[in-house]
Structure 1
Amino acid sequence: MRKNLLNKTVSIAAAAALTGSFLTGCGSAETASAANEEAKAAESATEVSEEVKEEGSQESSTETAEAESVDAGLLADIKERGYIVVGTEGTWSPYTYHDDNDELVGFEVEVAKYIADYIGVDVQFSETVWSSMFASLDAGQIDIVVNGVSYSEERAEKYDFSEPYNYSQYAILTLADNDEINSLEDAKGKTAANDPTSSIGKFAEESGAVLDEVGEAAQAISEVKNGRADLTFSPVTVFADYLKNHPEDADKFKVIVVTDPEPSAYVPVVKGNEALVNVINEALDQAKEDGTLSELALKYFDVDTTKGE
């Protein structure tokens, strides 16, 4: 409607100016007077036109600013406060755990720091048990989760996901002398020590295992070691890390790889924050291109797990 009004106003002004010019050329006092009136009308119409343009420009700028503000959403809040709050477990070596100096370290921890640096803010970690991680995300207590979160259609109903940045192979850990478990099919009917709210726990159930519900990987391995569970599922890298740090247990367990490498790590964000997801993807793309992701995988896993090979 405003555009049509503007065009009509400009046309009237142009027509008035042309009419005034024609009448002045006739040399008549009467027509000259009329021409002056027409010229005033043209000037007035031009002023109205400029006012309409200015008003339209202001409203357009306001609408654009509002749209950008809505799109920025959580990302704008993070930049304004100067830090991003990252949910992670802190008990899942070598992904997120405490070293001998009680410092929070691990592959996921360093990925989170890289994302924060890319955004240009500090990072604050909120260490939370896995079973309450997404509740903390829903409540706004944390901004994102960086904890080897896998994608699922169920989760995608509430969250948007970044691109994958790591790949995993699932494996079974059981006692070395357990001759009944040598493949994924052998897990059926057996007791698996895993967290029922995790993707690995769901995988265990889908494989026919009966869950011995535990919350941490170290506790799960302890359950198998003490005979309270027949086995536990986890990424191969978790078992490799455990055995590297507990060489005394190397002869007590066997590890059976049961899947091919699959995407296993995404950053979930509450829906409606597309700008934040986009900048996280930009950070992950840069980390892949500059070799950081591969370096972190080699540092914590002794193998590059970031390419899915």
Structure 2
Amino acid sequence: MTMQYKNLGRSGLKVSQLSYGAWVSFGNQLDVKEAKSLLQCCRDHGVNFFDNAEVYANGRAEEIMGQAIRELGWKRSDVVVSTKIFWGGQGPNDKGLSRKHIIEGTKASLKRLDMDYVDVIYCHRPDVSTPIEETVRAMNFLIDHGMAFYWGTSEWSAQQITEAWGVADRLDLVGPIVEQPEYNLLSRHKVESEFLPLYSNHGLGLTTWSPLASGVLTGKYKKGAIPPDSRFALENYKNLANRSLVDDVLKKVDGLKPIADELGVPLSQLAIAWCAANPNVSSVITGATKESQVCSRPFKTYLEDLLVGISMKPI
């Protein structure tokens, strides 16, 4: 199959149905050489959307992605690059969604990426200490000055997104076109219930993260047994491992394995395809540390067949 491309929400921007995110891997597990191989493998299989954030590896992930893309010689207009602003440093104005940090943080991200602009800039979390109007105005400043083409949110509530759109409509400004929530077989409420009015009211698109629940939905984790080359083996992800690898979750994963066996695919492929099958999802952000993970069947031949066969309800 060839990669499918979907509009990002109601915008004209087209993103690959599967995308690559730099969280965990770039700067923690991979450097520029390995990143170049992975990114090129993604491009070879039709991926055009690459996601980052100022906080990933304390900025190193942006540096690695930017250097890798530069050394690969890609035409900038051929790819969609996003980053996220919220956690930029330790100072009182180095985090949050104030006009000051949004503009300064974005300029710093662009410098690390060695790019003139990003296609999408996200507010990485809501900031209850900053008026939403200030944030909406600042995000529009980025767009007006060519630092970003679109803006969105990540892990915001439906109420907060609605409020941002209310401000944008009142001031004749651009509202958030996309939200980046966690979405997988174990985490469904926001995407399938809370956000429902936003899809029709505001044309909200979704770029979802953690389709494999940080690897839990690969089936590779057992209680008390963590593969040494997995992210849960990293020192700074052990708390996440303790929260994720609980009996109730592992039982649910075991219950999904017969369904994957019946379809004749690995559980990981089923889990990714299930996310992509949701019509409100513009792109599923995936992570990988090895070329073999990128070049496996999810990026090649299985996706269309699974999308036809998977219903959103039975699982």
Please, what TM-score do these two structures have when normalized by structure 1?
0.27
Q: Which has the larger radius of gyration?
A: 1
When you count helix as a share of all residues, which structure comes out higher?
Answer: 1
Please, what TM-score do these two structures have when normalized by structure 2?
0.27
